[in-house]
Structure 1
């Protein structure tokens, strides 16, 4: 279950990052509420996953899901650049996440 919590926490991190961008510096109430709610959910699920996963693994994977997810949302929804170098960088992050998962005991 901790891995499920961790993946969902990472997805909530993507949600709050996107909502924060949409909040326009917390000047728009709807996206601001989504940001804060998703942050709380993300931190709560990360905390649950850390009950049994090592700190380094949980935090690395959480931030990695958030980073790559925000990168993909930025490209898909905000029209951000998808240059070859940025894509390679995201793939390297994913490779690091896979290695971290493999290196961590269940």
Structure 2
């Protein structure tokens, strides 16, 4: 696999990670069976995609970028779907995280 495909797999894994976080929230402490099963399926998928990406990408950079995608996506989803706070300081640190992701990608 090329590094270009590795980056695609990494971004896809980050997006699936956000979906996993949302499904886990909806699973309500694993009391809702359908959301629990969805959560487990998404967990397996994002781990598989991340594992594929790590075959060609440096682990430190890839893991930091993956974590950043998950964090930024989860914050955004929490704001949009669950009415979590969107105050200025929180959004500032989301921007800082995005800049860090871009910086790590450019430096690779």
Aligned to 1:85: 89
Over the aligned positions, Cα root-mean-square deviation in angstroms equals 0.5
Aligned to 1:36: 40
Q: Which runs of 5+ in 2 are unaligned?
A: none
Aligned to 2:17: 13
Three-state SS of the structure 1 residue aligned to 2:71 is: helix
What per-residue deviation string (whole Å, max 9, x for no partner) do you get for residues 3-50 of structure 1?
100000000100010111111101101111111111110000000000
Aligned to 1:65: 69
1: CA distance, partners of 2:35 / 2:94: 26
State yes or no: 1:102 paired with 2:103.
no
**Which segments of structure 1 move beyond 4 Å, counting only runs of 4 or more?**
none
2: CA distance, partners of 1:10 / 1:60: 11
1: CA distance, partners of 2:37 / 2:48: 17
Q: TM-score, normalised by structure 2?
A: 0.95
Between the two proteins, the alignment pairs up a number of residues equal to 104
Q: TM-score, normalised by structure 1?
A: 0.96
2: CA distance, partners of 1:16 / 1:76: 16
